[in-house]
């Protein structure tokens, strides 16, 4: 399978292990959820300062966060786009921006590996791009179930 992630390091040094993990996680997400072979995800790994700027600019929240997701399609359009097996156009399904510092901090805080936390951020962001959310409890339960199933498939289980 062709890699489904376009990866950018914004004010961070390029890291081969991160690239390998990202491709593994995103490719598995696509394998399970997306039939359209011409879609991909844009991933930006960055600093706390940069993610704060994005959060402030696009969400009007002037604080650092761990992950931001920016879907390119409305929730009601996603299913049609991901199931379109005849689309000849290469298109981005959305952007996921991750603060690597926060991944490191949260891995320590939650008592699991950096790799598991980064995988979680990727899966969490991916499902936001797919139209899932966690504002309402029933939606949150559905999203968390999908995330846990994917992380278990990838063998990134909780310690």
pLDDT single digits (tens) 137-156: 888 899 999 999 999 999 99
Residues 6+ apart with CB under 8 A from 156: 115, 116, 119, 120
Element (H, E) at 83: helix 75-83
Residue 90 is part of a domain; what is its CATH number? 3.40.390.30
Q: What is the pTM of this model?
A: 0.94
Q: Residue 104 is part of which domain span?
A: 5-153
Whether 44 shows a pLDDT value over 70: the answer reads yes
Torsion of CA 50, 55, 61, 62, to 10 degrees: 10
* Domain presence at residue 17: yes
- Are residues 95 and 70 in contact, defined by beta-carbon separation less than 8 angstroms? yes
Whether 59 shows a pLDDT value over 70: the answer reads yes
* Domain presence at residue 68: yes
Residues pairing with 71 in the sheet: 94
How many domains in the chain? Answer: 1
Mean pLDDT of the region 59-63: 96
Mean pLDDT of the chain: 93
d(CA 29, CA 59): 26
């Amino acid at each position: 399978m062709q890699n489904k992630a376009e990866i950018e390091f914004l004010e961070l040094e390029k890291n081969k292990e991160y690239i390998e993990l990202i491709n593994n996680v995103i490719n598995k997400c696509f394998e399970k959820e997306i039939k359209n072979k011409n879609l991909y995800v844009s991933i930006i790994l960055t600093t706390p300062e940069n993610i704060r700027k994005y959060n402030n600019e696009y969400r009007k929240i002037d604080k650092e966060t761990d992950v931001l997701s920016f879907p390119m399609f409305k929730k009601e359009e996603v299913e049609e786009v991901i199931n379109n097996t005849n689309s000849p156009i290469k298109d981005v399904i959305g952007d996921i921006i991750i603060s690597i510092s926060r991944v490191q901090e949260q891995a320590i805080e939650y008592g699991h590996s950096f790799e598991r936390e980064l995988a979680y951020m990727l899966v969490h962001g991916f499902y936001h791009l797919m139209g899932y959310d966690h504002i309402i409890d029933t939606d949150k339960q559905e999203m968390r179930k999908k995330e846990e199933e994917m992380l278990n498939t990838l063998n990134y289980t909780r310690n």
